[in-house]
Structure 1
């Protein structure tokens, strides 16, 4: 027997409200009430998503990420050389003009080489 989506939705809304209360009463960064409310949201959302699928063969456009996925991001921390939160530096775009086209002598040389190859193939 599947859960009524309306009941699951109300459970999700209640979990969100409890999370807000836990946040507003937080005593520290590691407050167990906040952690518990966080998990309750994830569980309630999963139940709601399952109820939607069981009853309507539909899902929401949302995804709950597991805590361990945050640890995977640490492998990319070394790539952020200046700790600005971006893996792409402005320096990566220095060789582009305003139209987003390459503006370097190396690219022009490569284009000239392509033209020469085309001419050679055309004369054969």
Structure 2
């Protein structure tokens, strides 16, 4: 970075003062909070996070130094503003995969096509794009998640949101943009699985090579533990069908 593009010492000092002000506001909001999900505390938290991030960036640009601040991502949810007794709900799921074994993926898709009496005769499974369409059209998402290694896939992060709705949606109402109306303030509970949570899990004597994820619940839901370990390791040789 050129000297002309660097922030001035005064700008860094101003950013530090902004952090101090945000700290005071956050503490004041915490001291006055009206409940566990007070929106004032949530707003003050976000302001403090933004001020700390801005200061950290300016400090690094000017002096090549960093701060010990670490703002958690994905842990804080906005206060719930949905109905106390929802008449309807939506379950939103995202699961990420990487294609780790292209040949295995194509081979599995060809097996499905070969067993399909209604096949059009086109070699749809000859490409990765086509093979993915064949497999996800044949198997339920939960089965693919449990057998992902068989299909040449590697699991990434996943999340599940249960979102309250005032009324059931009309048939076909949201199909063009299924995730557009997801409102974080109407999330009843949420569960995330990610390798980033590995440090939080008590793995005991588990093998270090074993894939372990942590499911986290966010929200006031009875009979759901906040943290639950989930064993994602699959036995590829076992016949699961």
The normalised TM-score by structure 1 is 0.54
Match of 1:51 in 2: 58
1:87 aligns with 2:202: yes
CA-to-partner distance for each residue in 1:23-75, whole Å, 9 max, x for gaps? 01001111110000000110000110011012112111332221258998854
Match of 1:38 among 33, 45, 48: 45
Match of 2:155 in 1: none
RMSD (Å) for aligned C-alpha atoms:
3.0
Give the alignment of 1:50-69 within 5 angstroms.
50-67=57-74
Q: 1:69 to 1:31 in 2, by over 3 A?
A: closer
Aligned CA distance change for structure 1 residues 69 and 25 (closer, same or farther; 3 Å): closer
Give 1:8's aligned residue. Answer: 15
Q: Which has the higher contact order (CA 8 A, sep 6+)?
A: 1
1:27 and 2:34 aligned: yes
> How many Å separate the matches in 1 of 2:71 and 2:47?
12
Structure 1 segments (4+ residues) deviating >3 Å:
68-76
Match of 2:136 in 1: none
Instruction: Supply the distance in 1 between the matched residues of 2:45 and 2:36 (Cα, whole angstroms).
Output: 13
Counterpart of 1:17 (choices 13, 19, 24) is 24
Q: Which runs of 5+ in 1 are unaligned?
A: 77-84, 93-124
Call closer, same or farther: CA 1:19–1:69 in 2, change over 3 Å.
Answer: closer
- Contact 2:52 2:69 (C-alpha < 8 Å) held by counterparts: no
The structure that has the greater radius of gyration is: 1
Aligned length: 83
- Identify the structure with the greater strand proportion: 2
